Amino acid sequence: MEKVLEVKDLRISFQTFFGEVEAVRGITFDVGKKETVAIVGESGCGKSVTASGIMQLLPMPPAFFKGGEIFFNGENLLNKTEKQMQGIRGNKISMVFQDPMTSLNPTMKIGKQIVEGLVKHRNMSRGEATAKAIEMLDLVAVPQPERRINQYPHEFSGGMRQRVMIALAMVCNPQLLIADEPTTALDVTVQAQILELMNKLQDQLGMSIILITHDLGIVADVSDRVVVMYAGQILEVGLTEEIYASPKHPYTRKLLASVPRLDMSREEPLYSIDGTPPDLYVPPKGCSFYDRCTEAMKICKDQMPELYGHSITHQSRCWLNHPMAQRINSANRSEGR
């Protein structure tokens, strides 16, 4: 499969008054042409920082790249100037942000916000850009687009603002769309509509999608592959059917167990993962999930496992899946772990 994006050993930190926070710690993944890759994990695991790093939207300082490469169509984005990135953002790579109310300019009519990108990146006249903006609003199912193009963001509901954000992100037909929790704070009906809309537009425009979410329940029908992040690292990656049918990392299994099921009774309590993620001011020496894992061994605390391949497409970062797991288990049991 032709690769649109390749992220290699990306490391992003923030310099704070208390010291360095290692928010993203050496992640590697890729996105193929017309592929949807979901990045999942709890809040604070580095998903949004990764997305903003790809777009180079992080404030520097306090953020800085410690290492790694981000290749888009074979070119390293980290070598681009700000002016060059301005020609890529909103044009070849677009992003739908978490909160459309704070992402849309409240002082500008939504039509003007959409038209700006077309005038800048497509060299259209204002008239041509306005017609295209109306067409795009109609495509994302905003009713009466000719009238609503002259309204302000506060005149739209949450779901409609999210549709406007999608229209704004896709109006220049980007090759890659990064959707950072596009269904946050929306009711389940609107969530389904937004995800269905993104799939429909992907088929029509032939773009690739990175879907960032903390909810594994919404990615089963829309993603081709899943990347599971925790404490700034990738703990498991695989085809969607592999992750759901045979999760290898204890964290992935616990995330899946946290998704409510239709066959649950009212009396049955919702499952939650005990504990909290580690402090990334002082990253753990071994496995980042060690303190919360019910299957942890002694080696997990002392040594970071590498990503181990279960198949060509499925990998996990866990000592339990290592070929020497049985020997390690036996040694730890003899030591009373």
Sequence-ordered list of residues with C-beta below 8 angstroms from that of 239, at least 6 positions apart, any chain: 224, 225, 226, 313, 314
Separation of alpha carbons 89 and 83, rounded Å: 10
Residue 300 has pLDDT above 60, yes or no: yes
Q: What is the pLDDT of residue 101?
A: 66
For 240, 300, 335, the CA distances from 321, given in Å and listed in that order, are 19, 12, 20
Q: What is the pLDDT of residue 255?
A: 87
| Mean pLDDT estimate for the chain | 84
Domain residue extents for the chain? 3-92+174-279, 100-172
Separation of alpha carbons 137 and 21, rounded Å: 40
Q: What percent of the chain has pLDDT over 70?
A: 93
Say which residue the tokens 């790809």 belong to.
54
Lowest mean pLDDT segment, chosen from 88-97, 241-250, 265-274: 265-274
Lowest mean pLDDT segment, chosen from 125-129, 180-184, 239-243: 180-184
Residue 1 has pLDDT above 80, yes or no: no
Sequence-ordered list of residues with C-beta below 8 angstroms from that of 177, at least 6 positions apart, any chain: 93, 94, 95, 96, 169, 170, 198, 202, 207, 208, 209, 210
More confident position, 134 or 182: 134
CB contact at 8 A, 111 and 130: yes
Tally of residues, the chain? 337
Sign, CA torsion 319/321/323/325:
positive
Sequence-ordered list of residues with C-beta below 8 angstroms from that of 50, at least 6 positions apart, any chain: 7, 10, 12, 24, 27, 39, 212, 229
State pLDDT tens for residues 135-146. Answer: 888 877 788 888
Residues paired with residue 178 on neighbouring β-strands, in sequence order: 95, 210
Beta-carbon neighbour count of residue 263 at 10 Å?
A: 6
Lowest mean pLDDT segment, chosen from 138-142, 184-188, 270-274: 184-188
Residue 333 has pLDDT above 60, yes or no: no
Q: What is the pLDDT of residue 14?
A: 92
Lowest mean pLDDT segment, chosen from 24-33, 167-176, 180-189, 194-203: 180-189
For residue 3, give the nearest of 27, 34, 39 by alpha carbon: 34
Residues paired with residue 211 on neighbouring β-strands, in sequence order: 38, 179
Q: Model pTM?
A: 0.84
Domain 3-92+174-279 indexed as CATH 3.40.50.1100: no
More confident position, 229 or 264: 229
Sign, CA torsion 106/107/112/118:
negative
**How sure is the predictor about 337, in pLDDT bands with cuts at 50, 70 and 90?**
very low
